[in-house]
Amino acid sequence: MLRETAKGVAFVSSYAPRKCGIATFTSDLIANIKLASGGKFDPVIVAMDGEDELEYDESVGLTIHRNVKYDYIRAADYINFSDVDAVSVQHEFGLFGGDGGEYLSLLLERLNKPVITTLHTVIEKPSVEYFYSLVDVCEASDKVIVMNRRGIKMLQNTYGVPESKIELIPHGIPDLPFADSNHYKSKLGMAGRKTILTFGLLGRNKGIEVMLRALPAIVKADPSVLYIVLGATHPDVLRCEGQSYKLELEKMVADLALQRNVIFDNRFVSDEELFQYLGSADIYVTPYLHKEQLTSGTLAFAVGTGRAVVSTPYWAAQELLAQGRGKLVRFGDSEHLARSVVEILSNNATSSRMKKRAYEYGRSMIWPKVGQTYWKLLGEQVPAMPIRLRSSVDLQSWMGPAYDRKQIYQSA
């Protein structure tokens, strides 16, 4: 049973100083569980290493090299022989080695501790590898956390996960005051300008080019507009193609004569800087290209800080921006995006109403509340050797009779 004294929890995740959203999420989650626990929480991190060797602080007890199968087995033994009470897995397919991240199952199936897994991505129509990989993760977990109501139905209908195993906990956001953007603009040297912000790690799925094509019409309506693209190129993108996407965007800015209206701040910024940029934004834009994104920490931050948001209708945006909390525009439609932005910039009543609804909704997602929810879940008494609930899906019939399931539990 989980102890009534300090609860030891092992976190399997990417972790600072790795520059990725899940590493940031995990750091924020641990800090806020500590706050909720009143000193009764003792975390240890099992950090997922990418291709770059990183220097971690003392909270990291062990690292796993993504493509080394033995490391997953070693990590399971490390956790089993430690005094931790439970394991929190931050799951994103690309974090783990093997097809569809299947190497994670080498760790999970060997554990004798309760497992709570937070799913940062759920795929509605997965390939064979991704389907079986996530089924295995869910079967090896005592609780599975999603951040979006749609994710509950997807887990039930596509992956056969029992509803009793699924928990809905929103992505945490900072608890910031509802402030006038002019206060932050003066700090950042943007006084007198209407500001539009997009932030997050840069990659081709972000659709920045759609916003750039919309900008000429927006600038024609208000020449003071400044569009800020804040965030470093994603490390995986950087390894595969360097800065080619960013260079293409910069060329587009030059071709459209928008140099005075666009800033690329290609950095992984601190939380303090991020909050200043968010506070300065009159409009936050996420012009993502595809609907298959169930969570978005960047969008959650924007909603929670009371920004007026314009976004394409990917799954996370559909839920976060419902009931007038933002404006949804068609995928890849620069004209629709331009009209929506101009409408918000030119109508103070519409903008104020949207911002107020977003900020009020965001109060349910602030990190202290999310930390309390996780702490309560971790504090529930669960069997030390849990009985795994097998999926109710007939896997063979679902995938088709011709599919011969690949064996992943090979010797290390």
Per-residue DSSP letter, 290: -
Taking Cα atoms as reference points, which of 136, 107, 106 lies closest to residue 119?
Answer: 136
Contact 367, 173 (CB under 8 A): yes
Alpha-carbon torsion 378, 379, 381, 383, what sign? positive
| Residue 47: predicted pLDDT | 96
| Residue 288: predicted pLDDT | 95
291-326 per-residue burial string, b: 16 or more CB within 10 A, e: under 16: eebbbbbbbbbbbbbbbbbbbbebbbbbbbbeeebb
- Rounded to whole angstroms, the Cα distance separating 291 from 269 reads 27
- 7-172+367-399 CATH choice from 3.10.20.90, 3.20.20.10, 3.40.50.720, 3.40.50.2000: 3.40.50.2000
Neighbours of 391 (CB within 10 A): 16
| Residue 4: predicted pLDDT | 52
| pTM score of the predicted model | 0.83
Contact 191, 321 (CB under 8 A): no
Neighbours of 217 (CB within 10 A): 15
| Residue 6: predicted pLDDT | 64
- In the chain, CATH 3.40.50.2000 covers 7-172+367-399, 181-365
- Rounded to whole angstroms, the Cα distance separating 370 from 374 reads 6
**Contacts by 30-34, CB closer than 8 A, 24 or more apart:** 30/59, 31/367, 31/371, 32/172, 32/367, 32/368, 32/370, 32/371, 32/372, 32/374, 33/9, 33/371, 33/374, 33/375, 33/378, 34/371
| Residue 274: predicted pLDDT | 85
Name 286's bridge partners: 311
The residues of the chain scoring below 70 in pLDDT are: 1-6, 51-52, 381-412
Contact 170, 365 (CB under 8 A): yes
Look at strands 41-49 and 86-91 and give their pairing: unpaired
Fold topology of 181-365: Rossmann fold (3.40.50)
How many whole angstroms from its chain centre is CA 362?
16
